[in-house]
Amino acid sequence: MSSIDETVSTLLEHTKGVDFTLYTVDNLSTDGTPDHIKKTYGAVKVIEPGTNKGFGSGHNEVLSLIESKYHCVINPDISINGDVIAKMVEYMEEHPEIGLLSPKICFPDGRSQILGKRNPKIKYLIASRMRDEANPSPELREYAMLDEDLSVPCEIENATGCFMMFRTDLFKKIGGFDKRYFMYFEDCDITRTVRKYAKAVFYPEAVVYHVWGRESKKNFKLMLVQISSMFKYFIKWFNK
């Protein structure tokens, strides 16, 4: 089963009985994915902009379509094995002050992924790039809040873009993702924007599984895109 198949099939399997619409946005793929999704999963709505607008702008394609109370942004390398979405909705219903909810994100083998939860700083980004998963540096521990009690919900400054749940009205109010980022840092940016209006919270009771490739470490062009986005982020938020 391909990554996108696992994502779509597990999402559909674990949202039965829930008023749930799944959209897939195709960023000009060349492997036949849109046709495969249409043929295999009739309930999924496929959006084909005809161009690759990048991560954030791609997700913004649904802004005029969604009418739900909550909206999830989900990578095509995510899988779930339980009623994660219903659980997250229930928690947000109980906490109207939350505008963005981030689940616990694990590798497929169940290990927790070490992901930034504080606003990015140069020292954090260097520590993340030079990371040792088995022995994270003090800077990486600080960035990922590893010395905090992450077994309970807590406010965060930075939510990871592979799986984010927004209140739809807030997602629309802020105009979705900032289009100046093609890829990388758009999740840091939108979390910071959300926090002008509501709380961003890490919710460890909801667990999703992510095949994290860290492609920018392997691909020079993607590394340049990441550096460009980093500068855009720091310029935008300088002294704010």
Structural domains of the chain, ranges and CATH numbers in brackets:
72-237 (3.90.550.60)
**H/E element holding 173?**
helix 168-173
Q: What is the pLDDT of residues 109-151, one digit of tens each?
A: 999 999 999 999 999 999 998 888 889 999 999 999 999 999 9
Beta 199-210 vs 78-79: how paired, if at all?
A: antiparallel
Q: Provide the pLDDT for residue 220.
A: 81
Q: Provide the pLDDT for residue 212.
A: 73
Q: Provide the pLDDT for residue 225.
A: 93
Q: Which residues contact 120 (CB under 8 A, 6 or more apart)?
A: 143, 158, 185, 188, 230, 233, 234
User: Which three-class secondary structure state does DSSP give residue 59?
Assistant: helix
Q: Provide the pLDDT for residue 213.
A: 62
Q: Provide the pLDDT for residue 234.
A: 96
Maximum Cα–Cα distance for the chain, whole Å? 50
Distance CA(201)–CA(198), nearest Å, equals 10
Q: What is the pLDDT of residues 173-187, one digit of tens each?
A: 999 999 999 999 999
Q: Provide the pLDDT for residue 1.
A: 43
Distance CA(74)–CA(105), nearest Å, equals 12
Mean pLDDT for 183-195 is 97
148 CB-contact burial (10 Å; exposed 0-12 / middle 13-18 / buried 19+): middle
Q: Provide the pLDDT for residue 215.
A: 58
Distance CA(208)–CA(104), nearest Å, equals 6
Q: What is the pLDDT of residues 198-236, one digit of tens each?
A: 999 999 999 999 997 655 556 788 889 999 999 999 999
Distance CA(60)–CA(55), nearest Å, equals 9
Read off φ and ψ for residue 229, nearest 5 degrees: -65, -35
Q: Which residues in the chain belong to E strands, given as ranges?
A: 23-25, 45-47, 70-74, 78-79, 98-106, 154-155, 163-167, 199-210
Q: What is the pLDDT of residues 12-65, one digit of tens each?
A: 999 988 889 999 999 888 889 999 999 999 999 999 999 998 999 999 999 999
Residue in 80, 79, 87, 71 with CA at minimum distance from that of residue 23: 71
**Mean pLDDT over each residue of the chain, to the nearest integer:** 93
